[in-house]
């Protein structure tokens, strides 16, 4: 399963990079969303997928899924959410101010300094 997941994660990264390299600001943020999904799945996969039960103590379970990667991912999810929310509002504000979402048009000029 880990082998297949490695390919899936690679595909997610590929899609994310493809979107990040686009012109539209919204698509770039969509790309970063995909990138964080890929990273989260990567952490989970690298921790091993062999556990039989969720990491919650209860009778009868022999092997648990590794709890440490899960804790790390939980932290990462919250952080990436915070950053994504910030970026989205930033994008929204730049739409309002610059009236464009094409980053090829967003270049600093000497007058700005």
Nearest to 102 by CA among 27, 24, 32: 24
Q: Which is nearer to other proteins, 7 or 60 (CB)?
A: 7
Strand-pairing partners, residue 64, are 53
* Sequence-separated contacts (24+) of 19-22 with Cβ below 8 Å: none
Angle at 14 (CA atoms; ends 85, 76), nearest 5 degrees: 35
113 scored as a contact of other proteins (CB under 8 A)? no
| Least distance between other proteins and beta carbon 27 (Å) | 6
| Count, residues near other proteins per rule CB under 8 A | 88
Which two tokens mark 41?
């799945």
Q: What residues between 72 and 111 interact with other proteins by CB under 8 A?
A: 72-75, 77-79, 81-86, 88-93, 95-97, 99-104, 106-108
Nearest to 67 by CA among 78, 57, 79, 77: 57
| Least distance between other proteins and beta carbon 93 (Å) | 5
> Considering Cα of 90, then 94, then 100, then 103, what sign does the dihedral take?
negative
| Least distance between other proteins and beta carbon 5 (Å) | 8
7 scored as a contact of other proteins (CB under 8 A)? yes
Site string for other proteins, 38-77 (x = CB under 8 A): x-xxx-xxxxxxxxxxxxxxx-----xxxxx-xxxxxx-x
């Amino acid at each position: 399963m880990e082998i297949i997941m490695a390919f899936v994660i690679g595909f997610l990264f590929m899609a994310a990079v493809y979107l990040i390299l686009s012109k539209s600001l919204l698509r770039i943020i969509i790309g970063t969303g995909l990138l964080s999904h890929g990273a989260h799945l990567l952490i989970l996969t690298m921790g091993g997928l062999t556990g039989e039960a969720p990491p919650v103590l209860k009778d009868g379970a022999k092997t648990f899924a590794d709890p440490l990667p899960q804790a790390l991912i939980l932290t990462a999810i919250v952080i990436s959410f915070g950053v994504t929310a910030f970026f989205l509002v930033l994008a929204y504000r730049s739409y309002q101010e610059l009236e464009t979402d094409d980053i090829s048009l967003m270049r600093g000029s000497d007058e700005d300094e």
